[in-house]
Structure 1
Amino acid sequence: MRAEEIKDANSLQAWLESLPQGTEAERETARRWAVTIAHRAAMRVLPVYWKASIGRRARYQNYNTIAVLRCNLLSELLGGNLDRRIVPVALDASRSATKAHRAGSAARATLNSAVVSISDRTVLSYAVRDSVKLASRRERFLWNALNQDITVADLVFEQENLAADLRSLDLWHVNNSENRETAAWNSGKSKILAQGEGWRFWVEWYENALYGRPQDYALLTKIALIDPADWDKGADHVNALIQRIVEQHTLARDARALKAEISQLKERLQSVEHRSHNNPPEMVDETVAAQKEVTIIWAALEEAAQELEKPDPDPTVLARIGAFLETASVTIAKYCGALADLAVKTSVRTAAATGTAMALASQSEHLRAFGEALLQFAKSLGAP
């Protein structure tokens, strides 16, 4: 069956059932692509629901926007390499959202893509149909976008490129600046953000999907695995938790990046030390001292990264490390100045010494900024 022949739920189901299923790899790829196609259909109409949930008539409907967003997030994750922890969470999320919501087809279309993540292709095909019917005036346009998704999937199977990922393509396969649905989203997102800073994560997440930008799936998984009891407490509560998770995840990522930079700086200092046998004793002493300080800083960053990977990091530990790094940044800046002064006074202006002084200056500022951010995060967790 050719992609352009798929125009309704029945033809979509027939295509899904025709996907190669001979090997375990083919079955997993078929599952992944089937779920992703349903997810992308739901994501195309999500702004219709989202806009209605903050409209003038919203008070007359029992909208549960955070539950619908949660389901779409889960179905996105289930369209990737399957994390078994997500499956029971997705089922629970779908049941909870369905019970809490009575807003009609908009809710059903956005919820069903999570239900079908367990590979029920019949339910999946009708979930896509509901998504298309939701935007009936644009029905043909929506089927065209889905046809293009399927064209890409067919090429993947023909080329046996089973690692390919449809999620790296924009939702509409067209110039988004000329797309009417994208224009509507751009005009409506300011109203979403006006509800509070806690909605920024959701807006950025949706725009990453809209434009085919890379998603941080490790971060999304952490958010998806928030305790169901917390999701049931509503958007304000969950969005506050998400802000904390995003901040903690970002700090952990920055700690790892700084560690890599510090490792390179250690190598630079070792190189300067090895080449400094003909240099004045003062320069050798400063280089050795800086090398020791950088080694201590690397250990502190390692400790910070490990603590930040914990579900509940100790704020007193983070505060101690943050304060140390702020102080260490000043010390590193002094070593930078000392090396530069000695190079000028002794006419030792080697490329290695000059480059190392510049690297020390750069790392000093990075450490200061990271130490300050870590300290502020620790205080938000209750550190004195």
Structure 2
Amino acid sequence: MVEFSSDRDKITEWLLEQTEETCACIAVRCALRILPIIGSKWGIGNRNSEGKVFLLLFQALSITFVFSRYASYENEIFLISQKISGKIARIARSSRRAFNAERELILNSIDAIDVVSAAVATVLPGPHPNVAKLSAQAANDSIDVTFSAKHGDNLRLSSVGSLELDMSSICDGNVSSYLAAQPLWRISHGATPDPLWSQWLQMKSRLLALHPDWHVWTDWYEDRYHGRPANEALEIARATLPEELWAQGPRAVNARIAELIAEHAPKEPPNEPGLHAEVRNGKLELRGSAPAANETADPLQQSLHEIVRRKARDMHAALKPAANQYPELFKVATTYLKTVEVPLAELDVTAAWSEGNELDGLLHAYSGQDANRTMSEPLEPALSGRLDALLKDHSALILGFALGRLLTERADRMRMEGLLPDELRRPLLDVLSAFRDLREVIEPATRERIEAAEAAIIETNWRTGRVAYSGYALVRTLLIGAGRFLLKMSVVTIGLFGGLPAIGGLAGDPQLLATYQFALLFRDHAAAILQFAAGFPELRRWCEHVLAHLRLDDEINNGEDEPN
């Protein structure tokens, strides 16, 4: 690891050997670290002028971040940085004259503004040595600011350690765009984790007291603080807003940024055919699709439905004595019977299709064709023959529905195109079991569907039949339904409820209880969710959006008092 303690010359010497993007990246990360020192203690007068200064600082930091993260946009950034770099330096100079030397906290904040000024100046077009020296000024001055900020040696140690780790990251071969996406405080040498967080919370409260629309910047800063993924298009749009708009002040700029955030938010991905899930009265409920009127009026479909109902009853009755021997098969057979034991016009075609696939998969598993996947004995010939006969009539019934044919074609195509690989099975089961465990917020029939699917996936061969697609479609639908609900509720759930001990107080409000439970599911199973969605970019982007919205990714705290 690069070690320099507080040797200003060594920092400058190292930066002289780096690219302009790296110099800008080091400078803006140093400036972002000490930003809370500016905002937590220092005021410059009336609310209007204070807001304009904060806006200018955020503008400077955002364009420098964009340059270091997305260097291909340097031309647009150069033009903007030229217009604002001088303004920041003038603010620091004029403010310094206004305060006497005894007001150390105020002057310390002004020194921090100088760091921001140096950081944005690294983006100005000019000779490479100037960029390196400006970056060195920002880095060294940021350490000096933390040293004199009355926070003791721990803060300075954290600042030095984070800078050393940033430099080491570059020396290890990482580019500035990678470093720009990392958490700000990268602690080493036993330094205190998350320094200046309490000061940031003071600054955040101050900004939101000025006007609630400052959340577009407080959220932005916390994203940078934690190293959360950034939306490139959104960040470029934010940093390159026209100067005429910036000149109109915080209300106009913040309103436009809020519009940009909405415009760039990932769109909800579509459900697989015939499936939908939504939260009703605090319970997540699967909604399938009934047959079309002309299909229910078809005499052949009516006849097949009656045959399937009768055979499903007989099959269930025959399996009941062997329920302990074949628990998974009995579970799926029970769910299937409930699904088909309704009038044809009310039949959930998607559920019947999926459960038929699960029965077929279990038939193969228990018949000895896939004996390595189950510890149960092969099915007795009479039971095997009864189930096989049921499935033949089931297939005839399902393929008589347009949706049944569509689902069959889609499942086969996804399997042939390699979209349901073996690696999908583990995270799928992790997420499915997580939903199954939420007894209080999952509608009973939906929970039975989840349990049946889980049983079939565990026992059957992932590569055969259509069980893989059925499981994938179910998990995708559940995630979309729960995620949509969380976005609609629009709360930072863990921070709002204060952790698990608070759950008892939510029992009287089913919507809040559902919000809490689904937020915990996304938090605790974030890795499995993202792994499940990895092969489906639209779904993954949306799941990342849900996690970011809730502030429940791996680097998020269980409340705002102490980040991880």
TM-score between the two structures when normalised by the length of structure 2? 0.44
Q: 1:115 aligns with which of 112, 117, 121?
A: 121
Greater mean deviation of Cα atoms: 117-126 or 129-138 = 129-138
1:239-318 equivalences in 2 (<5 Å): 239-250=254-265, 253-255=266-268, 258-259=269-270, 261-262=271-272, 279=394, 283-288=398-403, 291=406
Question: Which consecutive unaligned segments of at least 5 residues does structure 1 have?
Answer: 20-26, 296-336, 341-349, 374-384
Q: Report the counterpart of residue 124 of structure 1 in structure 2.
A: 135
Q: Report the counterpart of residue 168 of structure 1 in structure 2.
A: 182
Q: Output the CA distance in 1 between the equivalents of 2:164 and 2:476.
A: 52
* Cα distance per residue 1:160-210 (max 9 Å; x no partner): 344742541332526998555222222442232233331112112212222
Q: Output the CA distance in 2 between the equivalents of 1:158 and 1:368.
A: 43
Q: Report the counterpart of residue 232 of structure 2 in structure 1.
A: 217
Shift in Å, 1:37: 1.4
Q: How many residues align?
A: 300
Q: Output the CA distance in 2 between the equivalents of 1:217 and 1:173.
A: 27
Q: Output the CA distance in 1 between the equivalents of 2:38 and 2:58.
A: 10
CA contact (8 A) 1:193 1:200 kept: yes
Q: Report the counterpart of residue 66 of structure 1 in structure 2.
A: 55
Whichever residue aligns with residue 58 of structure 1, its letter is: G
Q: Report the counterpart of residue 48 of structure 1 in structure 2.
A: 37
Q: Report the counterpart of residue 201 of structure 2 in structure 1.
A: 186
Q: Output the CA distance in 2 between the equivalents of 1:364 and 1:11.
A: 52
Shift in Å, 1:71: 0.3
Q: Report the counterpart of residue 103 of structure 1 in structure 2.
A: 95
Distance 1:91 1:173, change over 3 A: farther
Q: 2:68 aligns with which of 58, 62, 79?
A: 79
Q: Report the counterpart of residue 362 of structure 2 in structure 1.
A: none
* Cα distance per residue 1:320-353 (max 9 Å; x no partner): xxxxxxxxxxxxxxxxx9xx9xxxxxxxxx9689
Shift in Å, 1:243: 0.8
Q: Output the CA distance in 2 between the equivalents of 1:14 and 1:356.
A: 54
Does residue 234 (structure 1) correspond to residue 221 (structure 2)? The answer is no
SS class of match (1:254): coil
Shift in Å, 1:152: 3.0
Q: Output the CA distance in 2 between the equivalents of 1:360 and 1:184.
A: 41
Higher share of residues assigned helix: 1
Whichever residue aligns with residue 40 of structure 2, its letter is: K
Shift in Å, 1:129: 3.7
Whichever residue aligns with residue 36 of structure 2, its letter is: P
Distance 1:144 1:182, change over 3 A: same
Q: Which has the larger radius of gyration?
A: 2
SS class of match (2:204): helix
Q: 2:217 aligns with which of 202, 214, 233?
A: 202
TM-score between the two structures when normalised by the length of structure 1? 0.61
Distance 1:146 1:14, change over 3 A: farther
Q: Report the counterpart of residue 4 of structure 1 in structure 2.
A: 4
SS class of match (1:194): helix
Q: Output the CA distance in 1 between the equivalents of 2:60 and 2:205.
A: 23
SS class of match (2:95): coil
Q: Report the counterpart of residue 363 of structure 2 in structure 1.
A: none
Q: Output the CA distance in 2 between the equivalents of 1:241 and 1:166.
A: 25
Does residue 88 (structure 1) correspond to residue 79 (structure 2)? The answer is yes
Shift in Å, 1:34: 1.7
Shift in Å, 1:47: 1.4
Question: Which consecutive unaligned segments of at least 5 residues does structure 2 have?
Answer: 97-109, 276-348, 358-390, 411-445, 450-465, 490-564
Q: Output the CA distance in 2 between the equivalents of 1:77 and 1:157.
A: 18
Q: Report the counterpart of residue 12 of structure 2 in structure 1.
A: 13
CA contact (8 A) 2:40 2:202 kept: no
CA contact (8 A) 1:35 1:79 kept: yes
Q: Output the CA distance in 2 between the equivalents of 1:291 and 1:367.
A: 26
CA contact (8 A) 1:205 1:215 kept: no
Shift in Å, 1:88: 2.0
Q: Output the CA distance in 2 between the equivalents of 1:127 and 1:360.
A: 47
Q: Please, what is the CA RMSD of the aligned residues? A: 4.6
Q: Output the CA distance in 1 between the equivalents of 2:30 and 2:155.
A: 8
SS class of match (1:72): helix
Greater mean deviation of Cα atoms: 33-42 or 215-224 = 215-224
SS class of match (2:241): coil
Shift in Å, 1:248: 1.3
CA contact (8 A) 1:219 1:249 kept: yes
Shift in Å, 1:66: 0.4
CA contact (8 A) 1:37 1:146 kept: no
Q: Output the CA distance in 2 between the equivalents of 1:48 and 1:368.
A: 37
Distance 1:93 1:288, change over 3 A: same
Distance 1:280 1:215, change over 3 A: closer
Q: Output the CA distance in 1 between the equivalents of 2:473 and 2:48.
A: 63
SS class of match (2:4): helix
Whichever residue aligns with residue 34 of structure 1, its letter is: C
Shift in Å, 1:157: 5.0
